[in-house]
Structure 1
Amino acid sequence: MNASHPTPRIALVTGAGSGIGKACALALLEAGWTVIFNGRRADALEAAIAGSPHAARAWAAAGDVSDEVAVAAVFEQIRQRHGRLDLLFNNAGVFTAGLPIDELPVQEWRRAVDINLTGAFLCTREAFRLMKSQDPRGGRIINNGSISAHAPRPDSVAYTSTKHAMTGLTKSCALDGRAFGIAVGQIDIGNAATDMTAAMARGMAQADGNVRTEARMEVRHVADALVQMASLPLSANVLFTTIMATGMPFVGRG
């Protein structure tokens, strides 16, 4: 454990009941962190924690990240139980239906914005408040940006827009956090093998109009990258990093 960090180090992972969030939360536990698992389903969070041999250093804080009151309640629990937060991983997110923009219901657009973007904003706002006031001051925030923060898939206007906006949130907060020892970075992930990406193994629409299967990578590689970013001293920051399945159709022409 890095001597520059207080002991124990406290982390909050949103969307920790499954997929990337679960893998990263468990990897942080393995690396010695105390981890708060956040998500909308308490049963999924408890099941994820129970699967770890380090469950004694974890607890579940159910709550919808798009709900301002629920987010404030989660952070109040953290404040009361630990008095500080050293890492926030803004991971919670949803895909929207693959539809052309002229067929996309506005409620689907709003759902994507509420969870993918507003949820990250609400959690980051509370993290700033706590990290600025705690002693020692400061902490780290890592946002899950996605490959879609760089390039869209066909018919993904809502998801892609929120992930481009996440990049703006990362840059703005990285700047504003400097004065308070708050390091903010982003991990852009491509084709991690989770339930949410199962369709990639069956076939995904491509920019040229064809449908092809896509390479995926084990989600543990994402977790390893996240732990590495989180383990840096606050004097160093990975502002942006991309981890992707080597063979996925991202680098190249449509």
Structure 2
Amino acid sequence: MATSSAAGKTIVITGGAGGLGKAIASAFLAADANVAVFDVNEARLKETAAEWEKYGDKFITAQIDITDETAVNTFFANASAKFGRIDLLVNNAGIMDKFDAAGTTPLDLWNRVIGVNLTGAYLCTKAAINAFETQSPSGGTIISIGSIASVRGLNAGAAYTASKHGLLGLMRNTAGFYGPKGIYSIAFLMGGMNTNVIDAFATGVNQEGMATVTGANPFDPAKQFVGLDDVAKYCIFFSDPAVAETSNGATININKNWPSA
């Protein structure tokens, strides 16, 4: 059997204890990579760590608020110290808004969504770049989990849409500044997935806003949900630096052609 290109690499995944992050982390562990994940949800972390015991010392987990720069930097330092280097960051952590337009978005919700989806991704991108530049050999790759809401205006509320548009700008700027240094940055533009992002709906949504969004973008989960394991395969593919270099600064649509126009 051919050895996976991910074997021996070290992968940091944010929001890695559930949903898409867990699927990505599990795929890398199965490919003989080292995995470092953090998540804000302590219960999910404990459950996931128990499931991964068969991988021995190939992984580390930590409960961290992604908006805490000191905690983020400490985690990256610990991952580098344990595994010797970091090869790939997957900016996966994200939360949904409640389909509010700008005129009805509460400031605290705006700050929370921007904080997790954009500021958190910036803090992790910054920490990863600092690790990539100082390790030997230098270099690494950053995959940011964007959304069709990164390029479309009516697939979510104002806060989520702005955060994912901003994430795309961060990705492209990083690609431009650091590509010549062997640090590559790409984004996946995701369609609908069955992930923990829907936790935000537990306390209710703006029904009028949701009706506006779903009316503009009819969605059939049975046909249009993107499989989490399939997204993980893309991550493993782009963990090869030679492949990542060819797509530096690019967006990769993973959405089953939804919406189609």
Shorter chain as denominator, the TM-score bin is 0.7 to 0.9
Which stretch shows the higher mean deviation, 49-58 or 137-146? 49-58
Work out whether residues 187 and 242 of structure 1, in 8 Å CA contact, stay in contact via their aligned partners in 2.
Answer: yes
Give the TM-score normalised by structure 2: 0.84
Query: Unpaired segments of 5 or more residues in structure 2?
Result: 202-206
Work out whether residues 11 and 36 of structure 1, in 8 Å CA contact, stay in contact via their aligned partners in 2.
Answer: yes
After TM superposition, list the pairs within 5 Å mapping 1:162-241 onto structure 2. Answer: 162-197=163-198, 205-207=211-213, 209=215, 212-214=218-220, 215-233=224-242, 236-238=245-247, 239-241=250-252
Identity %: 28
Give, in angstroms, the shift of residue 22 of structure 1. Answer: 0.8
Which stretch shows the higher mean deviation, 56-65 or 156-165? 56-65
Per the alignment, residue 78 of structure 1 pairs with 79
Give, in angstroms, the shift of residue 233 of structure 1. Answer: 2.6
- 1:123-166 CA deviation, whole Å, 9 max, x = no partner? 11111111101001101111111111111335611100111111
Give the 4+ runs in structure 1 shifted more than 6 A: none
Query: For residues 155 and 43 of structure 2, what CA distance do their matches in structure 1 show?
Result: 34
Report the AA paired with residue 10 of structure 1: T
Work out whether residues 71 and 122 of structure 1, in 8 Å CA contact, stay in contact via their aligned partners in 2.
Answer: yes
Give the TM-score normalised by structure 1: 0.86
Give, in angstroms, the shift of residue 236 of structure 1. Answer: 2.6
Per the alignment, residue 11 of structure 1 pairs with 11
Distance 1:251 1:235, change over 3 A: closer
Partner SS, residue 254 of structure 2: strand
Query: For residues 139 and 208 of structure 1, what CA distance do their matches in structure 2 show?
Result: 38
Query: For residues 252 and 167 of structure 2, what CA distance do their matches in structure 1 show?
Result: 14
Which stretch shows the higher mean deviation, 130-139 or 56-65? 56-65
Give, in angstroms, the shift of residue 112 of structure 1. Answer: 1.0
Partner SS, residue 38 of structure 1: strand
Per the alignment, residue 244 of structure 1 pairs with 255
Work out whether residues 192 and 245 of structure 1, in 8 Å CA contact, stay in contact via their aligned partners in 2.
Answer: no
After TM superposition, list the pairs within 5 Å mapping 1:56-71 onto structure 2. Answer: 56-71=57-72
Report the AA paired with residue 20 of structure 1: L
Partner SS, residue 168 of structure 2: helix
- 1:74-117 CA deviation, whole Å, 9 max, x = no partner? 11212322231101001111101112321111111111111100
Work out whether residues 189 and 253 of structure 2, in 8 Å CA contact, stay in contact via their aligned partners in 1.
Answer: yes
Work out whether residues 191 and 197 of structure 1, in 8 Å CA contact, stay in contact via their aligned partners in 2.
Answer: no
- 1:197-235 CA deviation, whole Å, 9 max, x = no partner? 598xxx963558479553313211111112112234367
Work out whether residues 4 and 31 of structure 2, in 8 Å CA contact, stay in contact via their aligned partners in 1.
Answer: no
Give, in angstroms, the shift of residue 46 of structure 1. Answer: 3.2
Partner SS, residue 192 of structure 1: coil
Query: For residues 55 and 241 of structure 2, what CA distance do their matches in structure 1 show?
Result: 22
Query: For residues 70 and 208 of structure 1, what CA distance do their matches in structure 2 show?
Result: 38
Report the AA paired with residue 165 of structure 1: G
Query: Unpaired segments of 5 or more residues in structure 1?
Result: none
Query: For residues 19 and 32 of structure 1, what CA distance do their matches in structure 2 show?
Result: 21
Which structure features the higher share of helix residues?
2
Distance 1:169 1:51, change over 3 A: same
Per the alignment, residue 31 of structure 1 pairs with 31
Per the alignment, residue 140 of structure 1 pairs with 141
Work out whether residues 188 and 240 of structure 1, in 8 Å CA contact, stay in contact via their aligned partners in 2.
Answer: yes
Per the alignment, residue 49 of structure 2 pairs with 49
Backbone CA RMSD of aligned residues: 2.5
Give, in angstroms, the shift of residue 196 of structure 1. Answer: 3.3
Give, in angstroms, the shift of residue 175 of structure 1. Answer: 1.1
Aligned residues: 245
Work out whether residues 205 and 211 of structure 1, in 8 Å CA contact, stay in contact via their aligned partners in 2.
Answer: no
Partner SS, residue 163 of structure 1: helix
Per the alignment, residue 121 of structure 1 pairs with 122
